[in-house]
Structure 1
């Protein structure tokens, strides 16, 4: 029997220090968002501002523009549509750690970053946020004819190099956006070039090499999944396990290059590796690379952004994007 909260409201999910969900629909989040306003970053020179994508739904984004060289931009810049992590129910693109990571990506890869503030579960259960992701990707693509509302995109974006990326749950979201891009048409015929998955949040009913690592985190994520996706079939639901029997074929993934970043001590390391292996085996006609941070756990780059492995991971992503 679940505990009762104040006023007798039954608790249906309690993850101490993170989130508590009540039967009434009330949600308490304990993971504080360290809101950081858009700015010109002193360390990188990257400028940022906030834009609205779906006003009625409250979907927005923070967009990042690298500082131009002394002679001005010599060519148009690739643009990556990026999704933050947080188990589908926590986190924000406006959080200090996420903001700092986006600044680093924009600077190192000379890339415009569109960091999406999507709606969170359980108030907006999965799959609502996948629709938000698609709307954000379509919004970016709508600027390719030079008539969009965001001047940073119309003036500086190379719409032949549109990318998707995300970390943890955001990597899951990016995957599904790329799958949809393989099945549907984006505005003005824009294509997704590449996909970057950082510590992807994928589950599965079968065992994997990561089952003995970070077991507490893994159990918590398994317990959380039906809370954010009511009515799910479980850990082999294609939303959370794109390698499951009956999941849409990975052959339709709508890009030609994929980079999967994993941590050597991440509880979902094995799922990330399996994703890359399945892409190689399934008949998808593209290039897939796997980069591993030895001895590091899930989301380590947000906790210790200046450590050697975090710097190396950002550099690996930058090099991958620069060759797209």
Structure 2
């Protein structure tokens, strides 16, 4: 978002969001209430100057009024990766859906790893799902 708002910003071909940690003040459909509480605490510590609390556009890019940031993403392609058993998957999917539906002229792709939780690839980098995830990221970087 910052690259898109800067004059003479560098051209960013693509962005990979690998199990992003978005939050928000209110739970969204499919999101457990505990996710709202946990992300609010983490973001209050990590970003204490957030103007809208957990609905600051840096924390919740789908919050009311944040759409302008999505429409001016500073990249041409976007890959959002999540895990089906991650308590953040609903929020990650909402971000992907909002970016894909926005006036942003780029292309967005979604990858959901079945049967696994948040950042599973860090604990089990040798598992088949981690290998498939890495293959998809490599393909994205290669332009396919």
Scaled by the length of structure 2, what TM-score is found?
Answer: 0.87
More strand by share: 1
Select the structure with the greater relative contact order (CA < 8 A; seq sep ≥ 6).
Answer: 2
Shift of 1:204: 1.6
Higher percent of residues as helix: 2
Structure 1's unaligned 5+ residue stretches are 1-178
- Given the alignment of the two structures, is residue 252 of structure 1 paired with residue 72 of structure 2, yes or no? yes
- Specify the alignment match of 1:227 in structure 2: 45
Match runs of 1:107-118 below 5 Å:
none
Matches within 5 A, 1:234-313: 234-247=53-66, 249=68, 250-313=70-133
Q: Report the aligned-residue RMSD.
A: 1.9
Q: Distance in 2 between matches of 1:191 and 1:293?
A: 29
Aligned runs of 1:1-324 on 2, under 5 Å?
A: 179-184=1-6, 185-186=8-9, 190-212=10-32, 215=34, 219-232=37-50, 233-247=52-66, 249=68, 250-323=70-143
- Structure label with greater radius of gyration: 1
Query: What's the CA shift for 1:319?
Result: 0.9
Summarize deviations over 1:177-224 as a string: whole Å, max 9, x none. Answer: xx12212123xxx410001000101112233244239x4x65333222
1:210–1:266 contact (8 Å) kept in structure 2: no
The question of whether the paired residues in 2 share the 8 Å contact of 1:263 and 1:296 is answered with yes
Aligned length: 141
What's the CA shift string for 1:56-104, capped at 9, x where partnerless?
xxxxxxxxxxxxxxxxxxxxxxxxxxxxxxxxxxxxxxxxxxxxxxxxx
Structure 1 moving runs of 4+ over 3 Å = none
CA contact (8 A) 2:17 2:81 kept: yes
Q: Residues 264-299 of structure 1: CA distance to partner in whole angstroms, max 9, x if unpaired? A: 011111111111111121111111000000011111
Structure 1 CA distance for aligned equivalents of residues 41 and 11 of structure 2: 36
* CA–CA distance in structure 1, aligned partners of residues 30 and 122 of structure 2: 21
Gaps of 5+ in 2: none
**Quick one: structure 1 residues 292 and 320, their matched pair in 2 at CA, closer, same or farther if it must change by over 3 Å?**
same
SS in 2 for 1:256: strand
